[in-house]
Amino acid sequence: MEKVVKINKKHKKHTKENLQQLSKEELIEKIIQIEAHNIQLKNIIQKLNADTDDNKGDEKSTKRRNFDFSKCTKRHILLRFFYLGWNYSGYAAQEDTNSTIEYYIFKALTRVCLIESRESSNYHRCGRTDKGVSSFYQVISIDIRSKFPIEQQFCEEGIKNELDYCQMLNRVLPEVIRCVSWAPITVPNYSARFDCYLRTYRYFFPRGNLNINAMRTAAKYLVGTHDFRNLCKMDVGNGVVTFIRRIQEADIVLSQKDQSNPEYDVFYFEFIGRAYLWHQVRCIVGVLLLIGQGNEEPSVIKDLLNVEGNPCKPQYSLAHDVPLNLYDCKFNSRSSFSYDSNSYKEEEQNENCEDESNKEVQLHDWVYNEESLGRVISDLQSQWTLSTTKTSMMREMLNSLNEIYVEKFPNSSKIDNNANVLLQGVKSKDYQKLMSRKKCESLENRIEHFSKKRRIQVNDNCTEDKQINP
């Protein structure tokens, strides 16, 4: 028998006649629904008003100060920040969310009237960390307000008694984002992005049941210049078609030793290079964890780096974002900016590079303020105390439950999920070797795909992309 379906259209507005036809129970149900909907709408309006009031507060504060940037001098500096990015959507500002580190940094810079706008600030960032990733050494270059005229900015007084940039910013930044120090620059073209010649990432993880020696052996295969297309996420749609990068150092290092149980020792994977590809570090750590678990041999790294023999990336899971940290950055003592070509040099820079077009030393020592740095340390200690307390409580619970488990189920296998949680994705019951898994599309196929869609246009003389996020 054919079923007839009728769609009940909802009335936009109830009339008095419609309501009179409803029973008492139906009216009660209707009132409950309306009240629940009103509460939901009130919560939404309250949240929107809070954001609006916050923005209005910033506007009123700016109007009240009536700051005239045309009457003040500027100086070009580096600013160093650390941030815990676990609850943020990455470093770089995004159109669809304000939950980024960069959003709050610029909000703070404008609120304390150190810059007029991002567009006019000559801004560059050292690294672009992804969602959930933290940094101990994020650096930006920027033109910022100074209380000294240009001719006095590089004398002892002009550096020692300059505005306390860090303290001004930290007063209005979220507690997990802190400005640590600043460094004066003698010319306006020095870039935190292009003049950084080494970036160090660290990925922290517990020992668990991992074979650390096997992971160390595999990490050594990464050192040198390689094509990392099988150890990153190919971002061909945004024009990245070259995946050759040079890694100077890669190793597994003991960070914290647990005296009672070596399974709780904390290590970190250290990765030092100049430029990085999208998800490069997390892809590498994902494979290293498989090696540490004994599922893969260390030589699988060599297989993945052999793009001629293995042009297509096998499907595997990324390592978790939380343990990743942009830990350190090294900068050129002279800018890589070429005054002759009015652009940044393409060749790799080093700390002792000699540039005939620019002999002037530009990078000064980092400037620290005792009171400001002390407050930063105190703030971080407070967060460490709370986090360590939580960790200690969970550790006590684990010890107690493990004792019960061993006593009640002496023949059961040991539970070890310390490293498994760091591998994202669904874990299959029967492990399949990496090189026998289903493969992703080749680089050539991806280029052809986006070319047909007119997303990219590839020339034969394309140069290496400067992408640096992990």
Question: Helix H segments across 191-328?
Answer: 212-220, 280-292, 300-305
The two structure tokens encoding residue 209: 């049941």
Q: Give, as one character, the DSSP assignment of residue 228.
A: -
Cα 62 from Cα 222, distance rounded (Å): 51
- 47, 146, 248 from 251: Cα distances, Å: 47, 42, 10
Catalytic: which of 130, 143, 195, 265?
A: 130
Q: Is 66 left (phi over 0), alpha (psi -120 to 50) or beta?
A: left
> 3-state class of 142 per DSSP?
strand
Helices (H) and strands (E) in the chain, counts: 10, 11
Angle (nearest 5°) at CA 13 between 11 and 14: 90
The answer to whether residue 303 is catalytic is: no
The two structure tokens encoding residue 371: 């009171």
73, 149 contact by CB (below 8 A): yes
Cα 35 from Cα 377, distance rounded (Å): 48
Which DSSP string do the residues of 21-67 spell out, in sequence order? TS-HHHHHHHHHHHHHHHHHHHHHHHHHHHHHHHHHHHHHHHHHHT-
Which residues are catalytically annotated?
130
